[in-house]
Amino acid sequence: MGLLSAVKRILVGKPIHTKHAHHERLPKVFALPVFASDALSSVAYASEEILTILVFGGMLGFYKLVPVSLVLVALLWVVVFSYYQTINAYPQGGGSYRVSSENIGSLAGRVAGASLLIGYVLTVAVSVSAGAAAITSMFPQLQPAGTAIACAGVAILALLNLRGAKESGIVFAIPTYGFVLALVGMVAYGLFKASTGVGPVPPQLPEQTKDVTWVFLIAAFARGCTALTGTEAIADGVPAFKAPEAKNAATTLVMMAGLLTVLVIGISWSAQHFGVVPMEFGEEGYRTVVAQIASTLFGNSPIFFFVLSMTALILFLAANTGFADFPRLSQFIAKDGYLPRQLMSVGDRLVYQNGIITLAVVSIALIIVFKADTHSLIPLYAAGVFLSFTLSQAGMVMRFVRLKQVGWKAGISLIGAVTTAAVTIILLVTRFTEGAWILVVAIVLMMGVMAGIRKHYDYLSRELSVGPDDSVREVKTTVLLLVPRLHRGILKAIAYSQSVTNDVRAIHVTLDPASVGKIKEDWNRFGADIPLVILDSPYRSFIEPIINYIDQTVAEDPSVMVTVIVPQAVPKFWWHGLLHNNAAVPLKLALQSRRNVVITNVRYFLR
C-alpha cells in the first residue's frame, strides 16, 4: 500500500464491499440527524431573521413575532404534506428534480435541480457560518477567527461524510438530539418561569422607522422562511433509508415537522416574552437571539454553555443535509447527462465522493467571500429552495391530473404550489437588492452549464456510436524506444518493443555531444537488432527533439500508429523516486493533443 492510500485509509476507513451496501442504510433514529439537521437547525436563526424586520416596527411590530411564526408553521405543514406524497410516489428518490422532470418537463426539472444544488451549497455555508457565530457568542474573543472556524468545520464535515452515511449518522445523532433536548428544555423552563410570575420583559428597541402594514409583515415572514429550508432533503434521499424506504422516510419527515413546530413557536414566544432583540452582527459582545434567551434564563451557568454548545454543533452539523443530498441529487442529474459523469461514481466507502468534495470546495469559497456572515448569505438562500418547492408541488398536481386522481390530495399540492410560488416571488422582490439577484444569475449560469454539458455528451455519443460501415481495421505500428543509456533495466523494454512490431527505432536525445560516442559504442557492442537514432538538442530540451521526430514520423505516413516506449525505474522506497526522472509525464502532457500517438511505460523494479 502506497503512502497516499495508507493516509486515505486512516482518514476515511477501509473499503466497503458492495454486498454490504444494505448495512449502510439508515434507520429512522439516525436518518433524522442526517437529513433533518438543516431544517431543525434553522430554528436557531429563523426567529432572529423575522425579528431583524419586526424591530423596525416598534413595539407593535415586535409583538407580531409569534403570529408570524404561526403562519410560518402553517406553511411548513402544507409543504411537508406535499413532500409526504412525493416520497410515496417516488420512493427511488430524486425529490423535486425527478417530480418536475417527469411531470412538467426537462427544463422545469433542471431549474429545480439547479435551485436545489445552489441551496445545498448555501445550506453548508449558512449552517457552518451560523455555527461559527454561536461559538463566537460564547467566546467573543474568537470573533476575528470566525471565517477560519467555519472553513475548518466544512473540511471536518466533508471528511466525516467520506467515511460513509452510517458512520456520519452515528456521529451526528448525539448533537442533534442534544440540541433538541437543550432547546425544548430551555423553552419549557421559560414557560415555567412565566407561569410562576415572571412577566413579559419590554424590549430595548431601536427607533421605529416602519409602519406595521401587510407589506411589512410579509417582508418579516419572508425572512423567517429560512425555517423551511431543508424540508425537501428527506424526499431527495429516500434510497438511503432502511426498508421499507418510503414508509421510514415519510415517518421521519413527520417527526421532523413536529419538532420544527415546537421549536419555532417556542423560541419565538421566548424571544417575545423576555424582550430579546437581534444584535448587530460584528458588534462587540455579539450574541444570537438563542444565546440571549439562554443567558436571560440561565445566566453564565453550565446550562447556558450546554445550550450554546449544542446549538453550535447542530448548526455545524446541519451542513450535513447538504453533504447527504447534494451528491445524491448530483448523480441523478449526471445520470441524465446534465452534469459531469464523475458525479455518478460511488467511492469505496459507498458514498458519492466526488460530489462531497465538490460541495466542500464551493462552500468554503462562499464562506471566504462572504466572511461567514449569515445575514449576508441568507438572502441568497431561501428563494431558490422555495422555487424548487413550487416546481415539486406543481409537478405533483400535474401527476394527479395525468393519473386522473384529482381529489383532496391534489388540492393540498395545489395550495402548496400557489403558496410557495407567492413566497418565492416575495423573497425575490423583498430581498433582491440584498443579494437575491445573485441567486437568479447563478441559476441562469447553471442552466447554461447543464445545457453545455448535455450538448457535449450528445456530441460524444454521436461521435462514438458504431455504425454499419465501421469495422476493426489493421493498424501499422512504429515503436520509438527511448534509450537514455544502455543498462540492464531497459533490456525488458527492448524485448517488449520487438514483440510489438518489426519497425522499432531506439531514440537517444543527447544533451552533451561528448556522450554520443559512448552510447553508440555500448549499443553496437550489445548487438540489439534495432537502429539507434541520435537526436541533438542544442537548447538542452529532452522533450522537444522527441516531439519533432514524432511529428516527422507521422507526417511521412499519417496512417501509422506511433508507440513511444519509456523505460521507467521503480525504486524500492517511494522517496527514492524523487531522485529519478520520469519522462513519461511531461511527454504525455506534450503529446496528448496529437493523433495516432501512444505512450507506454515499461517498468523495471530496482532491488
What's the pLDDT band for 19 if we cut at 50, 70, 90?
very low
- 486 touches 523 (CB < 8 A): yes
Nearest to 597 by CA among 536, 545, 567, 555: 555
Question: How far is the CA of 116 from the CAs of 40, 131, 415, 439, 551, in angstroms?
Answer: 18, 22, 21, 11, 49
If you average pLDDT over every residue of the chain, what do you get?
A: 82
- Helices H, strands E: what count in the chain? 23, 5
Least confident of 85-89, 145-149, 407-411, 583-587: 583-587
For the residues 184-188, what does the mean pLDDT come to? 92
Mean pLDDT of 453-471: 86
Q: What mean pLDDT is predicted for residues 122-136?
A: 80
One-letter amino acid at 474 equals E
Residue reference for cell 468534495: 357
Residue bearing the bigger pLDDT, 333 or 435: 333
pLDDT at 487 over 90: no
Level-2 CATH architecture, domain 477-605: 3-Layer(aba) Sandwich (3.40)
Query: Which pLDDT score, from 0 to 100, does residue 593 have?
Result: 80
Please say whether the beta carbons of 293 and 186 come within 8 A: yes
Task: Provide the pLDDT for residue 403.
Answer: 85
- Report how far residue 448's alpha carbon sits from residue 302's, in angstroms, rounded to the nearest whole number: 52
For position 123, what pLDDT does the model report? 80
Inform me whether the pLDDT recorded for 72 exceeds 70: yes
Average pLDDT over residues 6-28: 54
Q: Give burial (CB, 10 Å; 0-12/13-18/19+) of 179.
A: buried
Q: Which fold has domain 26-458?
A: Amino acid/polyamine transporter I (1.20.1740)
Ranges of H-type helices in 380-476: 382-402, 408-430, 437-464
pLDDT at 17: 41
What is the share, in percent, of the chain residues with pLDDT greater than 70? 90
Give the pLDDT of residue 22. Answer: 43
- pLDDT at residue 308 greater than cutoff 80: yes
Quote the pLDDT of residue 408. 82
User: What pLDDT is stored for residue 451 in this prediction?
Assistant: 93
At residue 78, does pLDDT exceed 90? no
Cis peptide before 244 (omega within 30 of 0): yes
How confident is the model over 94-106, as a mean pLDDT?
A: 85
Question: How far is 76 from 69, CA to CA, in rounded Å?
Answer: 10
Confidence at residue 450, expressed as pLDDT on a 0 to 100 scale: 93
Report the alpha-carbon distance of residue 486 to residue 518 in Å, rounded: 10
323 neighbors 356 (Cβ within 8 angstroms) = yes
- Where does the chain hold its CATH 3.40.50 domain(s)? 477-605
pLDDT at 544: 86
**How many Å apart are CA 397 and CA 85, to the nearest integer?**
11
> Which residue in 205, 303, 224, 233 sits closest to 264, CA to CA?
224
Residue 73, all three cell numbers? 408553521
Name the one residue in this structure whose C-alpha cell is 457565530. Answer: 133
**What's the CA gap between 267 and 273, in Å, rounded?**
10
Instruction: Examine the pLDDT at 310 and tell me if it is beyond 80.
Output: yes
Nine cell digits for residue 51: 425579528
Span between the terminal Cα atoms of the chain, in Å: 18
Is the pTM higher than 0.85?
no
pLDDT value of residue 21: 42
CB-based contact 176:314 (threshold 8 Å): yes
Could you tell me if residue 540 is left (phi over 0), alpha (psi between -120 and 50 degrees) or otherwise beta?
left
Is 502 a residue whose pLDDT tops 50?
yes
Rg of the chain in Å (alpha carbons)? 31
The residue-averaged pLDDT of 324-352 equals 81
**Mean pLDDT across the stretch 201-205?**
79
pLDDT tens string 367-402: 888 877 766 676 666 677 888 888 988 998 898 888
DSSP string, 135-188: HHHH-GGGGGGHHHHHHHHHHHHHHHHHT-HHHHHHHHHHHHHHHHHHHHHHHH
DSSP E strand stretches across 226-279: none
Cell of 458: 450528445
DSSP string computed for 71-86: HHHHHHHHHHHHHHHH
Handedness of CA 459, 461, 462, 463 (dihedral sign): positive
Q: How far apart are CA 248 and CA 253, in angstroms?
A: 9
Residues in the chain: 607
Structure confidence at residue 18 as a pLDDT band (50, 70, 90): very low
pLDDT tens per residue across span 548-587: 898 888 888 888 899 998 888 787 777 776 776 667 678 7
> In the predicted model, what is the mean pLDDT of residues 426-447?
81
Instruction: List where CATH 1.20.1740.10 sits in the chain.
Output: 26-458
**Separation of alpha carbons 91 and 84, rounded Å:** 11
> Quick check: 13 pLDDT over 70?
no
d(CA 244, CA 27): 10
Q: Given a cut of 50, is residue 23 above it in pLDDT?
A: no
Q: What are phi and psi of 400, to 5 degrees?
A: -60, -40
**Which one is predicted more confidently, 357 or 239?**
357
Euclidean distance between CA atoms 354 and 360, whole angstroms: 10
352 or 220, higher pLDDT: 220
Q: Which residues contact 323 (CB under 8 A, 6 or more apart)?
A: 124, 157, 158, 161, 168, 356, 359, 360
pLDDT at position 11 is 55
Question: Is residue 500 pLDDT above 60, yes or no?
Answer: yes
CB 212 within 8 Å of CB 61: yes
Q: Which residues contact 60 (CB under 8 A, 6 or more apart)?
A: 212
Going by pLDDT thresholds of 50, 70 and 90, the confidence category of residue 120 is: confident
Mean pLDDT of 196-200: 78
d(CA 154, CA 323) in angstroms, rounded, equals: 10
Residues 6+ apart with CB under 8 A from 26: 34, 165, 166, 169, 240, 241, 242
